[in-house]
Structure 1
Amino acid sequence: MLKFLHIAVLLLGAVLGTSARAESVLFLNPGSSDEAFWVSYSQFMQAAARDLRIDLQILYAQRQPEQTLAQARIALQGPKRPDYLVFVNEQYVAPQIMRMANRSGVKLFIVNAALTPNQQNLVGERADRIGSLVPNDEEGGYLMMKELIRLHRPVASGERIELLAFSGLKITPSAQLREKGMQRALAEHPEVRLRQLVYSGWTRERAYEQARQLLGRYPDVSLVWSANDEMAFGAMRAFSEAGRVPGKDVLFSAVNTSSAALQALVDGRLSALLGGHFTLGGWALVELHDYAQGVDLSRYGGRDRQIPLLQLIGKEQARRMLAMGESPDYGVHFHKLSAKGRPASYRYPFTLQTLMH
């Protein structure tokens, strides 16, 4: 009997030891808990965490950077600290979070918006910062603008195409980069005239209100570039109310693969759609899991990486993504993407194609 108890205790210890070794990760989600993009972002991370057996917790800041900082303070200076803190440099909060992390023992990983060059000079090299993964925001803004222009009807020599642009927040790196890409495309197309660029804070209602005013000022607009799907839908509503048919009288673009955006592309109301960057958090967990197992991330593509996730979504791709629905695992075997034991030539296959096949 004693021998049996001894074996049982050893087995229990082994089980507890295994669970104790699971990495604990806290993700500070800068978005709102009812925002399609950031909810899908969290769902993809949760799918990765289940497959990789990571203990993942997610906190939403409801688009309030001071809330992100308060959450970071508790996580980094409180009694129950995660092994890893994953966060976004939204509205440039990263240096403050990194100051809080001093001597906390928590490892840091940045997603979506990394340190700016000035911030990097300010904080310097740190052993607790594992790395970062960001999307190709500048290229995304460029591709989206080029596609809108390509789809527009041909214009006669000397005729202008009028454009309105809706961006997020001035102090959000992703918005700035997408705008920069748009401007690069416009420099190649002098026939397109940007009548006005406005900041809608990523929200549908604000874009709707702005578009109503802008329509009266610029009645000949036939292209609308939007840095996310919510703003595109807000502007679309204003144009529809004015009797303009989306996809015919005026062409709209958007970023994000929400089900509403995918359906709008299939229906022809959206003419150009970019997406894929909702997967970044899940891919980051693959790297964190590898790091915990002793993998040197710099051998497999660099510690700080930009991934060409933002790409144009075709109608057939949109239909396939809609058919996937709310699949709890997205059909991705995250553990099979590990670099552990791979040759130095291996590169993490972090693309939308990995999700689609």
Structure 2
Amino acid sequence: MLKVLMACVWLLGSAYGAIAQAASVVFLNPGRSSETFWVSYAQFMQAGAKDLGLDLRVRYSERDNQTTLAHAREALLGTERPDYLVLVNEQYVAPQIMRMAQGSGVKLLIVSNALTPDQVQLLDAYNDTGLIGTMVADDEQAGYLMLTDLMRQHGPVAPGTTLDLLAFSGAKTTPVAQLRVQGMQRALAEHPEVRLRQLVYGEWSRQRAFEQASQLFKRYPQTALVWSANDEMALGAMQALQDTGRVPGKDVLFSAANSSPQILAARLDGRLSTLVAGHFTLGGWAMVLIHDEAKGVDIGARGGRNRQQALFQLIDAAQARRLSGPLPSVDFRALSAVGKPASYRYPFSLQLLLR
């Protein structure tokens, strides 16, 4: 009986030790708790954390920077500090959080929106911020792919003629939005037959883009192409076109980024001609890096601490159908560098979900 009791105590102690050793993570989610992209981003992150034995809490800011800062203050200066804080440089908020983190003992990982070059210079004096790295997607390439594929879908243009383009970017002070616009501009330089009539900032909002597009389609009735930095703005602009009696995908070709159910449906029914996706996986891959860093892996030696992952890819109809159904589970533990040779590189890719 005593042996059984001692064995139970040992098992309980082992279980408690495993729980106590689980690295804790707080994610400052800049989106709304009802926003499809940021919810799916957090869900994939939670799947990774669960598989890797991390204790993850997600705090939504509801698109309010003051809420983000309040959540950061609670995590960094409160009594129950996490081991890691994951944040997004949305609306340039990262430097304030990094200054707040000085001396807190909490390690930081920036995802999706990296520090701007100016911010990096300003933060040179802040060495003790606990920043272990950044992890972003190839947003410039996403912007480029959308416009070049729109042109492929449209086909050749008669000599001496031009195509009118409208573009909907996100928030002006968001690095991701700026990079996607830069990619679009690179594609424009390769296609002089495309004339950008107007670039507007839809703030990632379907309603705002709908209102803007309702005016723009009147101002530029010959619009042939619409480039949108996300799915919500594309859907809003499509609705505005439909209200004029024209057909998205036939009278005007649309592009978008993201993989929400509605935009995937639009890709499948032909209203959307070009779709890029894959960056919602960033949070999940970030969990692998945090797991490995907590286990003593030098993540900088395996691809660098400031990582740009080639996550965006064009989504064809078959892939849109695949993403519309239940996604396959990912073995996040198998992606870890723990126990792998020094030559191992993280194989982060949307293809892990499309197999």
TM-score > 0.5 by shorter chain:
yes
Structure 2 counterpart of 1:74: 74
Write the mapping of 1:107-256 to structure 2, written as runs, cut at 5 A: 107-124=107-124, 125-126=127-128, 128-256=130-258
Deviations 1:218-255 (A, max 9, x none): 00001000000000000000001101111110000000
Cα distance in 2 for partners of 1:175, 1:7 equals 57
CA RMSD of aligned residues (A): 1.2
Conserved? CA contact 2:135–2:309, under 8 Å: yes
Cα distance in 2, alignment partners of residues 294 and 108 from structure 1: 16
Number of the residue aligned with 1:333 = 331
- Secondary structure of the 1:151 match is helix
Partner of residue 291, structure 1: 293
Residue aligning to 1:90? 90
Deviations, residues 295-348 of structure 1 (Å, cap 9, x unaligned): 00012111110001111111111111112x2x5xx4200000011122222110
- Which residue identity is paired with 1:336? A
Q: Is the aligned partner of 1:348 residue 2:346?
A: yes
Q: Equivalent residue of 2:207, what SS?
A: helix
3-state SS, counterpart of residue 343 of structure 1: coil
SS of 1:150's equivalent? helix
Q: CA deviation at 1:8?
A: 3.0
Query: Aligned partner of 2:308: which letter?
Result: Q
SS in 2 for 1:279: helix
Q: Report the equivalent of 2:51.
A: 51
% identity of equivalent residues: 62
Deviations 1:180-231 (A, max 9, x none): 1101100111110001000011000000000011111100001000000000
Deviations 1:158-192 (A, max 9, x none): 11100000011110000000001101100111110
- From the superposition, tell whether residues 67 and 127 of structure 1 become closer, same or farther in structure 2 (CA, over 3 Å): closer
1:65-123 deviation per Cα after TM superposition (whole angstroms, max 9, x unaligned): 11111100011000011110001010111110011111111110000011111211222
Q: Tell me the distance in 2 between the aligned counterparts of 1:333 and 1:271.
A: 32
- Retained in 1: the 8 A contact 2:231–2:257? yes
Equivalent residue for 2:322?
A: 320
Structure 1: gaps (5+ residues): none
Q: Normalising by structure 2, what TM-score?
A: 0.97
SS of residue matched to 2:99: helix
CA distance in 2, matches of 1:141, 1:209: 23
Q: Within 1, Cα distance between the matches of 2:273 and 2:3?
A: 71
Residue 264 of structure 1: aligned partner: 266
Letter in 1 for 2:346: Y
Deviates further, 167-176 or 154-163 = 154-163
Amino acid at match of 2:281: T
User: Which residue is equivalent to 2:280?
Assistant: 278
Give unmatched runs, 5+ long, in structure 2: none
CA distance in 2, matches of 1:131, 1:77: 21
CA drift of 1:126 comes to 4.4
Alpha-carbon distance in structure 1 between the residues aligned to 2:299 and 2:282: 16
Aligned partner of residue 243 in structure 1, secondary structure = coil
Number of the residue aligned with 2:106: 106
Q: Report the more deviating stretch, 273-282 or 48-57.
A: 48-57
Q: Give, in angstroms, the shift of residue 5 of structure 1.
A: 3.9
2:169/2:204 contact within 8 Å kept: yes
Q: How many residues align?
A: 353
Work out the CA distance in 2 between the residues paired with 1:127 and 1:303. 15
The residue type equivalent to 2:136 in the other structure is V
- In structure 2, the residue corresponding to 1:154 is in which secondary structure? coil
Separation in 2 of the partners of 1:153 and 1:336?
43
Letter in 2 for 1:76: L
SS of the aligned residue for 1:306 comes to: strand
